[in-house]
Chain A
């Protein structure tokens, strides 16, 4: 574990500062995510947020999760987002004007309300001194608030990764297996959804650069999503790919 991380988890002023900086970054990137016009910029903001959270994990003595966060979230998921963004070419300006009047104001008011009630619900008892994890008030149970013993002892015994691994394969082994299956299904799902009807006219001789004009779909590949396309033009091009519904009940 890098010394900086270790040092930060020991508490003391370092933890406060890291919390403040990293917290600010996280909040800033979150606001960025929801306010950026361009979807790609939003995706980048998301990456930044994931990084900030990864640092926080480290501070909270969840070193393994911090790494996983970096690999899975920052690495895979956001990249996937970017990939889709690029594929669909929807990086144009996304006008923020909501169709439903008053949606924005309503949403923000509700957001604040949600924040206040969540914060009150969860953070309430943990603001006292004792809640400083690893602090002696916590250990002696003298300070106010719920004492936070911190994971120092646990991690110290076998280290965070080993502890987790141990838990994973004893108490949560079934859950683990299920998630494995879940991942497989997700993968298959994505392939199935992504499949396109192998249409003979579409077979491309290897090496030719011209993409066959998709029948009836207005050759989406080249057409930039110029502004909010009105619904009926889009709806009209009911592409043949939409899986024909088998033996639909004749109404």
Chain B
């Protein structure tokens, strides 16, 4: 079992990086605030404030990693409480930091890729009018992601969870002048919120059962939970994860998120934020390991998403949307891994994917930068000659993502497939995994071929851009990421004995083999063959430019291009009925309740006017009324006397 599961959390010794770890998150947050408040006055220095704070976080992360590595495996789960946060009645939640191998690995990825993208943004956002605001949001994101990753209790994790949602809202809608960007941002936030509701309800259940939300208490108590709660929490956390990591059913926001600047897509929608879902499930491994059937559900969701996204990616024509669907697909892979219980095998691709997907996005950014922000790959082609570095690094990225042997992608994908193959009931998922491997290689090769190879189609455009290589500040990160994509495999050559597996042991539950659907060697061979076939097909087919779609295939391609019309489905199934419900309620509110209230008002005034009509103004009708009164009175008196039986004694004793 892992350190946390046995409750072996150690209080951080004073002065140790773990004790300062919370600064890792706070410094970027503070610098974001500073940039937002006085950014404009800082002028050119603004980006550097952001870069410095990102650098500071990276150094602190590295220091923590080194420090943690120095400790024995058992004592690598270190907790440091900064302050009490929410002492609401029975709920006790503190601002506390959990520094353990998983958290440190994630923070390294976040700060590392983050810093590179900060540097990249220097060049990319050069002529943008609102630089301080952009870098403030980037820093805000960095801080929030670190809060998420380092959070000691589920609630602090949730704080980071929603704050990154806010940052993605702000960054997707960064160029809010165009309406589509703004609505894409809103769509992202709302759909993330749907996922967050699942997360919150899971927290309620856990708090109800365990009485605390701090991971140090929740994870050890995971075994004791009742079956029903476990299943419910498992599914709800899955719902939360699908929201954040763009899995079925909540993946529709990621493709639209491409409306944001490319560095944002690279950092948030490829490397870091979208992996939060995988991190959450990995973090809750002690819980998921109790419910293997729910694990299979997670894996199934991952496989389905991977397949669907891969199919859609094949038909996309925008340089960034292909990558977006590719991200969704690769995340599906990671869900498959953590689903079947291979948590370290899930985190490994998380890191490698972070490298090569960020690389691909930055390359795409560099291409768009050169092509005056045009994104349609059908109008590109032959850019290798004009953008050698970008082209080269993009090639490495493509090979890595396709799982070309010895690249980082190869190792991570192979481990996932191996883990799935060793899980009972994983046959279908394995098959899908292999198909997706082929598709991935194919659409990435297509992407590469259309952009960098073949005839230079952009020259026939009315005023053709003349592409030139991006400045060093953009190409340097590309090169670094390319190196990481190639060398990344070193991190975890073998699922059991790899460096990463060992490193993550205290944080996540180890993988138990429950079946052997296919031998690892054979599996590896098949994977390599599929990768090569996919790559070759992609390059050969699209080297000469985009291919005409045959009449019979046209509807299928159109369906794929429209992303299986999932958006329209949601609009019809949820948005329109919701709209009409709201309209109905508003009508009910204005006519119904208000109607009743005003009705009461009108009724009283109606009564009043009716009463007033009695005042005819004729003196004689008043006299008549008086007369009626007198007659009734006297008749009454007479009646009373009669009843009294003593007749009318007027004269007698009164």
Contacts and interface: CB of A to CB of B under 8 A. Distances in A.
Say if the two chains contact directly (CB < 8 Å).
Answer: yes
Interface of A: 98-100, 103, 106-107, 110, 113-114, 117-118, 120-122, 124-125, 146
Interface string B630-652: 11001101100100000111110
Contacts of A103: 620-621, 624
Given A110-B628, A117-B635, A125-B651, 14 more contacts: A99-B618, A100-B616, A100-B618, A103-B620, A106-B624, A113-B631, A113-B635, A114-B634, A117-B631, A120-B638, A121-B648, A124-B647, A125-B650, A146-B651
B627 interface: yes
The main secondary structure of chain A at its interface with chain B is: helix
27 contacts: A99-B618, A100-B616, A100-B618, A100-B620, A100-B621, A103-B620, A103-B621, A107-B627, A110-B624, A110-B631, A113-B631, A113-B635, A114-B631, A117-B631, A117-B634, A117-B635, A120-B648, A121-B634, A121-B648, A122-B648, A124-B647, A124-B648, A125-B647, A125-B648, A125-B649, A125-B650, A125-B651
A146 B621 CA distance: 39
Interface of B: 616, 618, 620-621, 624, 627-628, 630-631, 634-635, 637-638, 641, 647-651
Contact of A121 (B621, B637, B651): B637
A113 B618 CA distance: 23
A110 B635 CA distance: 12
Contacts of B647: 124-125
Given A120-B638, A121-B638, A125-B650, A114 B630 contact: yes
Contacts, number: 45
A122 B649 CA distance: 9
B651 A110 contact: no
Nearest to B635: A117
A115 to B, nearest CB: 10
A98 B618 CA distance: 10
A124 B650 CA distance: 10
Contacts of B616: 100
Nearest to A116: B635
Contacts of A146: 651
Nearest to A99: B618
A35 to B, nearest CB: 16
A122 B651 CA distance: 10
A94 B18 CA distance: 113
A161 to B, nearest CB: 25
Contacts of B651: 125, 146
A103 B650 CA distance: 34
A211 to B, nearest CB: 31
B650 A114 contact: no
Contacts of B620: 98, 100, 103
Nearest to A146: B651
B356 to A, nearest CB: 85
Nearest to B633: A117
B49 to A, nearest CB: 69
A117 B648 CA distance: 12
A55 B618 CA distance: 37
A125 B647 CA distance: 8
Nearest to B630: A114
A186 B649 CA distance: 38
Contacts of B618: 99-100
Contacts of B641: 121
A139 to B, nearest CB: 17
Nearest to A147: B651
Interface centre among A99, A103, A120 (most CB of B within 10 A): A120
A103 B627 CA distance: 12
B621 A122 contact: no
Contacts of A120: 638, 648
Contacts of A114: 627, 630-631, 634
B634 A110 contact: no
Contact of B624 (A99, A107, A117, A121): A107
B588 to A, nearest CB: 42
A98 to B, nearest CB: 7
A220 B649 CA distance: 55
Contacts of B627: 107, 110, 114
Nearest to A115: B631
A111 to B, nearest CB: 8
Contacts of A106: 624
